[in-house]
């Protein structure tokens, strides 16, 4: 069991970063959402907003708190503090009212393999209200399975099951579709099919909340996103404009090898990386002056110490995943 992390310098929970929906309806929002499991804080003071019509990417390495967040949205897990709001209905307090507006699944969707796709949709769909045969045909068409609607699901590929899961999520015309790693375990063609389906849902104006650990996937299909690390949100906004809200600093010295030795005594080594000749790292309060003092004492020329403001979304995500791997191996 890992202890609660308190040393991650990301968004200050006292200053929630709610990316405004301007004049659009906020379909989903979280407010100080926190979940503790004994000594592990899985989700920490999460504030996010999903606007009507968004295909919203919920991005982060495995173990970042994405699935725990989704379980709290569905009311399957109770938060330690904070709450979820779905079109004004609070979860967990108004869970049943909120769920009427949501379609989706956590992990892989489950179907009866000895039944046809159409019969599965008919039976499972009617657990939450009336379903017409016309609507079943419509959603099968939407996910590209109309020709296989009379086939038993036991003969479906994993990708076809994922698409059938999306059909079930759509069947009651919900205001919000939640998909948790929908391309996980798929072959390249299956991934392409599911991503194209999500893009088409977005073109039709469907609001989609897509959890993924794949940066490329989010960039392909989403217009807005939030990035998670260790249960905390490090960025939120339009995909093309996302940048980390952090204290990244880059340093150039006359002897980068000696500068690296100094830095490793001041910050976690896994947080240091090289970029175009600079050493880049997260600078907690007091680190930069102490680094400069030590370098000068070691007679190392300090040529530049500047904010690393130009870090791209890809750079940030690669940094986060590299840190996850390093910590897992420690």
pLDDT tens string 139-157: 999 888 999 999 999 999 9
Judge residue 277's burial from the number of C-beta atoms within 10 Å of its C-beta, 0-12 exposed, 13-18 middle, 19 or more buried: exposed
Residue 269 has which token pair? 């080594």
**Fold of the domain built from segment(s) 26-241:** Rossmann fold (3.40.50)
What are the residue boundaries of the structural domains of the chain, listed by start?
26-241, 248-310
What residues form DSSP beta bridges with 146?
none
Residue 296 has which token pair? 């000068």
pLDDT at residue 10 in the model: 35
Confidence of residue 28 (pLDDT cuts 50, 70, 90): very high
pLDDT tens string 68-119: 999 999 999 999 999 999 999 999 899 999 999 999 888 777 899 999 999 9
Q: Is the pLDDT of residue 320 over 70?
A: no
What percentage of the chain reaches a pLDDT higher than 70?
84
User: H helices within the chain, ranges in order?
Assistant: 66-73, 95-99, 117-125, 133-142, 158-170, 188-203, 215-221, 256-264, 287-297, 313-329
What percentage of the chain reaches a pLDDT higher than 90?
39
Closest listed residue to residue 282, CA positions, set 293, 270, 295: 270
Q: Is the pLDDT of residue 44 over 90?
A: yes
pLDDT tens string 212-236: 988 888 888 999 999 998 899 988 8
Confidence of residue 17 (pLDDT cuts 50, 70, 90): very low
Which has the minimum average pLDDT: 144-148, 295-299, 312-316?
312-316
Q: Is the pLDDT of residue 246 over 60?
A: no
Closest listed residue to residue 82, CA positions, set 70, 92, 97: 92
Tell me how crowded residue 241 is: count the other CB atoms within 10 A of its CB: 10
* More confidently predicted of 69 and 183: 69
Give me the mean pLDDT over the 34-63 stretch: 92
All residues at 6 or more sequence positions from 83 whose CB lies less than 8 Å from its CB, including other chains = 30, 31, 32, 33, 90, 91, 92, 93
């Amino acid at each position: 069991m890992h202890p609660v992390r308190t040393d991650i310098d990301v968004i200050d929970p006292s200053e929630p970063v709610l990316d405004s929906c301007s004049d659009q309806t906020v379909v989903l929002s979280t407010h100080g959402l926190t979940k503790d499991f004994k000594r592990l804080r899985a989700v920490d003071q999460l504030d996010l907003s999903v606007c009507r019509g968004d295909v919203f990417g919920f991005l982060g390495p495995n173990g970042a708190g994405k699935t725990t967040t989704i379980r709290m949205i569905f009311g399957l897990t109770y938060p330690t503090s904070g709450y979820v709001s779905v079109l004004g209905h609070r979860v967990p307090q108004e869970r049943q009212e909120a769920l009427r507006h949501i379609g989706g699944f956590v992990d892989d969707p489950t179907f009866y393999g000895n039944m046809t796709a159409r019969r599965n949709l008919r039976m499972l769909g009617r657990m939450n209200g009336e379903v017409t045969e016309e609507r079943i045909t419509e959603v099968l068409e939407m996910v590209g399975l109309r020709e296989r609607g009379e086939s038993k699901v036991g003969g479906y590929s994993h990708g076809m099951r994922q698409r059938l899961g999306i059909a079930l999520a759509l069947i009651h015309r919900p205001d919000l579709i939640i998909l948790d790693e929908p391309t996980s375990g798929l072959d390249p063609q299956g991934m392409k099919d599911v991503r194209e389906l999500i893009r088409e849902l977005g073109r039709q104006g469907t609001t989609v909340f897509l959890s993924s650990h794949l940066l490329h996937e989010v960039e392909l299909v989403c217009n807005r996103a939030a990035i998670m690390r260790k249960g905390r949100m490090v960025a939120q906004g339009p995909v093309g404009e996302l940048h980390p809200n952090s204290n990244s600093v880059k340093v150039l010295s006359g002897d980068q090898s000696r500068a690296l030795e100094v830095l490793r005594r001041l910050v976690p080594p896994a947080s240091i990386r090289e970029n175009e000749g600079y050493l880049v790292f997260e600078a907690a309060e007091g680190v930069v002056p102490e680094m400069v003092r030590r370098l000068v004492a070691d007679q190392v020329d300090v040529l530049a110490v500047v904010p690393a403001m130009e870090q791209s979304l890809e750079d940030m995500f690669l940094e986060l995943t590299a840190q996850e791997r390093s910590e897992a191996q420690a």
